[in-house]
Homo-oligomer: A and B are copies of this chain.
């Protein structure tokens, strides 16, 4: 991606609140990984594994911790947490297209709605009766916002996002393309011959600074609202069932499936393609590894896993067959003399 932005290292040191060791007039025109560094680029060292790339790095400067400074032959921006400094630098070099303010003529805004001056409503977007939109919010092309939704300030809906009726977004909520918030929770009562629809009367309430990935779906509650607290970051193609409650600053990686009425704590990390069964409670600061299934309550912070490692399929088949008879094997083994102690 082309990028016209340039900063001197002196300016960057101030903007990133880092200590410059080197030439303050050196001009930086973009970011690079350590291995791709070249003149004009700013790199960073966060994971110590890559420290051996420092001596050969051809970038103009590197963000790093004090303790690695001696290994680095170019300009240095010393930071206590280089990854955070790098995140801030990435925002300085943002190259996304600027947004046109105003309402595109093909958008439909219900006539009774008063919009702030500085919003942007894209092509063919539909904003229904009773919706409120905060200052600085951007609604992308093809979005559909059903009745009585409330969007805070500085929200960003990319293209073809759907908000069903009554959804609330806090401030600075980001919805990537194709995400769907507030579709009916999956609730049916089986009467012995067919499934009777349970109308989903709640909605979805999303806190400030929540990011929602492309294709992610968050269902409305059956009676009360589904709740996503502030600062939660949700990757692509995540499914969050009705009545869930996700604690503040929890991070949910791509393709994770969370069944209805799960209650997940604050500062958790759910690995990619993990799952949480319904009505589960997970404590704060729990980390679940990729593709693990949380099938019971977790009361204690820490790292959790399920599944098996990966191996050659031929070997796996032999082991999987043994797993199928593991209880039987264990019982027989436990009857052996010498296993009592």
Encode A292-332 as 1/0 by CB contact (under 8 A) with B.
11111010001111111111111111111111111101101
From A66-74, A86-94, A111-119, the one touching the partner chain is: A86-94
Given A87-B189, A160-B162, A176-B184, CB of A93 within 8 Å of CB of B201? yes
A-B contact pairs, 27 of them (CB 8 A): A31-B223, A32-B223, A81-B189, A84-B191, A95-B201, A96-B199, A106-B106, A124-B124, A141-B144, A159-B162, A160-B160, A162-B178, A164-B177, A188-B211, A215-B217, A271-B277, A289-B313, A294-B310, A296-B309, A296-B310, A304-B311, A305-B310, A305-B317, A315-B327, A318-B326, A319-B327, A333-B333
Task: Please list the residues of chain A having a beta carbon within 8 angstroms of any beta carbon in chain B.
Answer: 1-3, 30-33, 36, 81, 83-84, 86-88, 90-91, 93-97, 106, 108, 122-124, 126, 128-129, 140-142, 144, 146-148, 158-160, 162, 164-166, 176-178, 180, 183-184, 186-203, 209, 211, 213-215, 217, 219, 222-224, 231, 233, 235-237, 239, 241, 249, 251, 253-255, 257, 259, 271-273, 275, 277-278, 287-296, 298, 302-327, 329-330, 332-333, 335-339
Contacts A198-B87, A222-B90, A231-B194 given; does A293 touch B306 at CB 8 Å: no
B273 touches A295 (CB 8 A): no
Q: Are A272 and B253 in contact (CB under 8 A)?
A: no
Contact A158 B147 (CB under 8 A): no
**Residues in B whose Cβ lies below 8 Å from that of A129:** 97
Flag if B186 contacts A177 (CB, 8 Å): no
Q: Are B91 and A199 closer than 8 Å at their CB atoms?
A: yes
Report the nearest B residue to A91, measured CB to CB. Answer: B199
Min distance, Cβ A285 to any Cβ of chain B, angstroms: 12
Are A251 and B195 also in contact (CB < 8 A) when A108-B106, A236-B183 are?
Answer: yes
Taken together as a complex, chains A and B put the C-alpha atoms of A124 and B36 apart, in Å, by 41
Report the bound CA distance from A33 to B313 in whole Å.
31
